[in-house]
A = this chain, B = another copy of it.
Amino acid sequence: MKKHLLTPGPTQVPEGARLAMAREVIHHRSPEFKAIMAEVLDGLKYVLQTTGDVIVLTASGSGGMEAAVTSTVPRGGKAIVLEGGVFARRWTHICQAFGIEVVRHEIPWGSAVDPADVAQLLSKHPDAYAVFATLLESSTGVEHDIETIGRLVHGLPALLVVDAISGAVSTPCYTDRWNIDLLVVGSQKALMLPPGLAFVAVSQKAWRQIDSIQPQAFYFNLKHYRQMLASAETPWTPAITLVAGLAENLRQIRAEGIEHVWARSAVLAQATRAGVAALGLKLFAERPAAGLTAVRTPPGIETAQLLAALEERFGIKLAGGQDKLKGQIFRIGHFGAIDPFDILGTLAALELVLASLGHRVTLGSAVAAAGRVLQDPRPMAAGKD
């Protein structure tokens, strides 16, 4: 059976990248590989909208988060974490593992961080080394207002560190303009690669802080990576084939234009939401993201049964809820290589599966609603619905 992967990561990998990754390995200290890495570093700066340094780590996204924590906050130092889901909470867990004092700002899962609260936290904790935030909290489908938070942190000693593992490239993110000091990105999301690489964009302000502290890091010590940037190398052997695949995807994204990529996700987000609304389903996120839609499982339906039926009958793989959201929501990814065909097919299958599980459905209604959006897409502001 054909598989249709619409989870919020890993996501579908374009054929060009898959074939590039199937080529024979080349040596990571060779001029050929350095040329590919230089191209990748340049392409990452473009898609992340930064003129600063971008570090390539061979690790999952969580490794990129650890690099951002351990390179910027010393043991015993204080950090503010804006916690509204599984992934934001990971900032707290990483900080705690390295003896960092965490000011946890916990908000209900599904809510967006209120920038006014961040302003209060910053004035109450002027000694914080960093504010750890999330662009797209993929466990809840919320897109947080990083632009406004960036304005609040700008000019203060604290760094703004953003988990954009799912958010980057799926929604507008202007690293420099928004005053983001460290931006963490993963390969297996809107960059359309398999997992295995993480990226960290680093501002000048961040480097100054990094240079001033004693890092609790070796493999993830960003200073080791900075030393090698001039020759487009990494201190430890990188995941060579994934970098080669990334070069391919970045070429595609650049040819299309990053604004166009963002706009495509936004249109698919609108279409998906129109579709699920037509089925009487509710969104979970207060401030829904362009990259994925978290839908509340309707009463009387079991999430696990719904997901299993979509997979068994149609080969469609969606994600359920994580942690305390297990059984309460399901999540549809619409970033990266996902296209209108994927979304229309998924909505059509969702209609059929919901109907067979006893939910009242007018067949064709979700697809029609999504279709109307696709026929006449209106520009959608980031994070707005």
A-to-B contact residues, CB < 8 Å:
3, 5, 7, 9-13, 18-19, 21-28, 30, 58-63, 66, 93-94, 97-98, 186, 188, 194-196, 215-221, 235-242, 317, 319
Please determine whether A7 and B27 come into contact, CB atoms closer than 8 angstroms: yes
7 further contact pairs, Cβ within 8 A, besides A60-B238, A62-B237: A13-B25, A58-B195, A63-B236, A93-B218, A98-B218, A194-B239, A196-B239
Please determine whether A242 and B10 come into contact, CB atoms closer than 8 angstroms: no
Residues of B contacting A59 with CB < 8 Å? 58-59, 63, 219
Least CB separation from A317: chain B residue: B27
Please determine whether A24 and B3 come into contact, CB atoms closer than 8 angstroms: yes
Closest-CB distance, A210 to chain B (whole angstroms): 14
Residues of B contacting A66 with CB < 8 Å? 218-219
Whole-angstrom CA separation of A5 from B219 in the bound complex: 27
Residues of B contacting A242 with CB < 8 Å? 194, 196, 239
Please determine whether A236 and B61 come into contact, CB atoms closer than 8 angstroms: yes
Whole-angstrom CA separation of A22 from B58 in the bound complex: 19
Whole-angstrom CA separation of A27 from B9 in the bound complex: 8
Whole-angstrom CA separation of A221 from B65 in the bound complex: 14
Given the known A-B contacts A22-B21, A66-B218, A241-B21, are A60 and B236 also in contact in the complex, defined by CB atoms under 8 Å?
yes
Q: List 15 A-B contacts (CB under 8 A).
A: A5-B25, A5-B26, A5-B27, A10-B27, A13-B25, A25-B188, A58-B58, A58-B59, A62-B219, A63-B236, A66-B218, A94-B218, A97-B217, A195-B240, A196-B238
Please determine whether B60 and A216 come into contact, CB atoms closer than 8 angstroms: no
Residues of B contacting A61 with CB < 8 Å? 236-237
Residues of B contacting A195 with CB < 8 Å? 25, 28, 58, 237-240
Residues of B contacting A218 with CB < 8 Å? 62, 66, 93-94, 97-98
Closest-CB distance, A307 to chain B (whole angstroms): 11
Whole-angstrom CA separation of A188 from B240 in the bound complex: 10
Closest-CB distance, A244 to chain B (whole angstroms): 9
Residues of B contacting A19 with CB < 8 Å? 22
